Amino acid sequence: MAWIWLGSDNNKGVPTAYDQGIRALARCNSKTVLAKGQFQIELNEVFVLPKSVDKLGLLNFNPTLYARALAETSIVGLNNYSSQVVQLISDKEFATIGAVIGRLLSDVQQDIFERIPGAAEIEMSEVGDVGSPQSEGAKMATSEISDDDDVLKEVRRLLEQDGWGGVLLTGAPGTGKTWYARQIAIKLSGGEERRFREVQFHPSYQYEDFVEGYVPDGKQGFRLADKHMLQMASIAEMEKGPVVIVIDEFSRTDPARVLGETMTYMEMSKRGIDFYLPSGRRTRIPKNLMFIATMNPEDRSVDEIDAAMERRWAKVELVPDPKKLKGFLDSNGAPDAIVQPVMSFFLGLQEHLQIGHAFFCSIKDAESVARLWNHQLRHIVHKRFRFDEDSRKDIEALWQTCSNALNLISAPSAASAND
């Protein structure tokens, strides 16, 4: 059996006089080998559908079934596209497509079910409200921040009220940028895991990793596949609520190169407008697809981000927060006696360089403070101030003051242990 897909006349996704998509069902009568990798396939018993059914039609009819059974299917799956010529699919996938089309086109449902074994037996999951976190089978995540969180409220205002294409969380290392980005994504997506995705940029990250690129097809060849941005855009098309892409370490590569056309069409004024990809395919970025990224403003590569990219992102700065540090100490059960020396050391450090509160998240006693200095902070200080001996000595003096206080605190407990 074969589904017949009407594509474009030049294999580039250009507009046609007809609706592209699945338009007929046929039986394979014979297959003749013409040359290596080339075949002639003869079809008969062609049954023409009343109208074409495209990928979006299959997806929108029953997102739960689509995600479970068809998302990876050749031609109609999220990672495939319609200009491929011939692709093999499994009997179950073939029957599932028939089950959906039969219910979409009720006038010919009986004809389809009679022709495709197993199509009538495919169970249709409840469609439900796909914008609700209660969608059937949805994996849920729980955010650790409240709706009243100041950073969350600011990000919501920038995305929902001011219409920014994306929000960039900036700040020194240890200020919780990555953690906050995930928590905000969970909040915006209602906690439904399929509606948010986290990716990390790195020096070798490319356009082909983020938008579209060729991947092995398992048959000694390659196929063009949707990557993170296009996959999430497809999901956003069928969702009522926000869908979120989190990009960690935004400046670790060249963002303009990786995002490509996304840089222009992520602007809210251009959302929902079709544009062409290098492959010739058309796509668009829905209004409900939100971008959140994180970046250390002190990274050397930040200076290389061009102005066109920067102006498309609103920036929210996260700063070292002594209140959050105090919260770590309290939740870890740290003795009251070490709180003041640690707080003083933390605040003193900020006068020389920004060190985030997250570095101190495991502090619970004098020994853990010493380990933090010896195995982390000391090395950061030496690297930062290797050409500034005065600043380095000032910070080492700060640590010595803190260490002396901690030694005085821990001495009585050591003496008691020896009695």
CB-CB contact of 116 with 98 (8 Å): yes
Answer yes or no: do 336 and 362 share one domain: yes
Q: What pLDDT is stored for residue 178 in this prediction?
A: 96
- Domain final position from 317, 332, 358: 317
Into how many domains does the chain fold? Answer: 3
- Asked whether residue 405 is domain-assigned, the answer is yes
Answer yes or no: do 195 and 313 share one domain: yes
CB-based contacts of 353: which residues, under 8 Å, 6+ apart? 172, 380, 381, 384
Answer yes or no: do 160 and 304 share one domain: yes
Domain of 302: which CATH number?
Answer: 3.40.50.300
- Domain final position from 317, 338, 373: 317
- Asked whether residue 158 is domain-assigned, the answer is yes
- Domain final position from 288, 317, 346: 317
Find the helix or strand (DSSP H, E) in which 110 lies.
helix 109-115
Answer yes or no: do 295 and 259 share one domain: yes
CB-CB contact of 49 with 108 (8 Å): yes
Give me the helices (H) in 171-321, please: 177-188, 207-210, 228-238, 255-259, 262-265, 307-310
The pTM score is 0.69
Full domain range(s) for residue 190:
150-317
pLDDT tens digits along 126-138: 433 333 334 444 6
CB-based contacts of 314: which residues, under 8 Å, 6+ apart? 158, 162, 164, 166, 167, 168
- Helices then strands, each counted (H, E), the chain: 16, 12
Q: By 3-state DSSP, what share of the chain in percent is helix, strand and coil, each rounded to 5? A: 45, 20, 35
- Asked whether residue 188 is domain-assigned, the answer is yes
The rounded Cα 318 to chain-centroid distance in angstroms is: 21
Answer yes or no: do 93 and 223 share one domain: no
- Asked whether residue 134 is domain-assigned, the answer is no
- Asked whether residue 128 is domain-assigned, the answer is no
Answer yes or no: do 174 and 311 share one domain: yes
Low-confidence ranges of the chain (pLDDT < 70): 9-14, 36-37, 79-85, 124-138, 217-220, 299-305, 410-419
- Asked whether residue 129 is domain-assigned, the answer is no
Answer yes or no: do 112 and 223 share one domain: no
Answer yes or no: do 158 and 298 share one domain: yes
Q: How far apart are CA 45 and CA 291, in angstroms?
A: 48
CB-based contacts of 113: which residues, under 8 Å, 6+ apart? 98, 102, 119, 120
Q: How far apart are CA 194 and CA 71, in angstroms?
A: 13
pLDDT tens digits along 260-319: 999 999 999 999 999 999 988 888 999 999 999 999 887 655 556 678 888 889 999 999
